[in-house]
Amino acid sequence: MPRVARDISETKIYHIMSRALNKQTLYDDEQDFLYFLKLLKEVKNETHFELYAYCIMTNHYHLLLKEHDVKISAIMNKINSRYANYYNLKNGRTGYVFNDRFHSESVDNSSYLFRCARYIHQNPVKVGLCDKTYNYKFSSIHAYRRQKGNYLKLVDTDFINKNFKSNEFASWNDLESHDRCMDIANNKLSDKEVTNILYKLMKVDNKKEFLKKSEAEQMYYIIKLIDMSIPLKQLSRVTGHSYYKLQKLRRGKVGNVTKLTYKP
């Protein structure tokens, strides 16, 4: 099956996630986490990307960055190949370390950028590693807590901070949220189960009744399923709306798709 072309960001800002092969452990101890951060700084100096958020988990990591002259594919190749060399040498092994392709999505407006950053910072909270974002050591949230934790001066905080009052962004990251910023979750619901949930919310009995509803009303309820972490590809199959239209809906991009006029 041919690969789907990457979504190109008009703003050159991307949310990126890269995961270990077979979900194996990427970072076994603090030395590994610190090495990765130093490597990130090294590649940042070489390629001049801006970094707005990051979180390093045990078997994957998230970045929120803006490319300049060097494209994200080249940036990611530098990061992953160099860390793989380090990981293999340290552990006396050979072969692949990361999945062959990193995940990326374009970030086209400031509202979605803020939500992506919060989604990244809340990763450790969502999986139960800590109760507050600032209680996890290896994320960029510390860079936004009055600049006290900007390790290696890695994070470009001004871009986000200028939109918030002093320390407000750091506090906003610990508000309960249902941010859904990348279509990579392993959803256990079947298409039929998702369809039943949608139809129950909309109080319709079948697809014919669903299609009679206005697009604004359909989108209103699809957003609710997005908030439940239902993958966009599955929602596209269930509803008949294109994946790219649903991407725009999730990002809150201004346009006919998201200027909803429906009021329940």
Q: Residue 254's pLDDT band (boundaries 50, 70, 90)? A: very low
- The pLDDT tens digits of the residues spanning 211-241 come to 999 998 999 899 888 877 788 888 999 999 9
Q: Are residues 61 and 34 in the same domain?
A: yes
Scored b (16 or more CB within 10 A) or e, 84-99 reads beebeeeeeeeeebbb
Q: What is the pLDDT of residue 1?
A: 41
Closest residue by Cα to residue 143 from 108, 110, 167, 119: 167
Position 259 in a domain: no
Euclidean distance between CA atoms 120 and 56, whole angstroms: 9
> Would you call 127 helix, strand, or coil by DSSP?
coil
198: pLDDT strictly greater than 50: yes
Domain end, chosen from 143, 172, 201, is at 172
Position 215 in a domain: yes
- The pLDDT tens digits of the residues spanning 61-100 come to 999 999 999 999 999 999 999 999 999 999 998 889 998 7
Total domains, the chain = 2
pTM: 0.76
Domain end, chosen from 172, 200, 219, is at 172
Q: Are residues 44 and 156 in the same domain?
A: yes
Q: Are residues 230 and 199 in the same domain?
A: yes
Q: Is 100 exposed, middle or buried (0-12, 13-18, 19+ CB in 10 A)?
A: exposed
Supply the range of the domain harboring residue 112.
Answer: 13-172
Domain end, chosen from 118, 139, 172, is at 172
Q: Are residues 204 and 75 in the same domain?
A: no
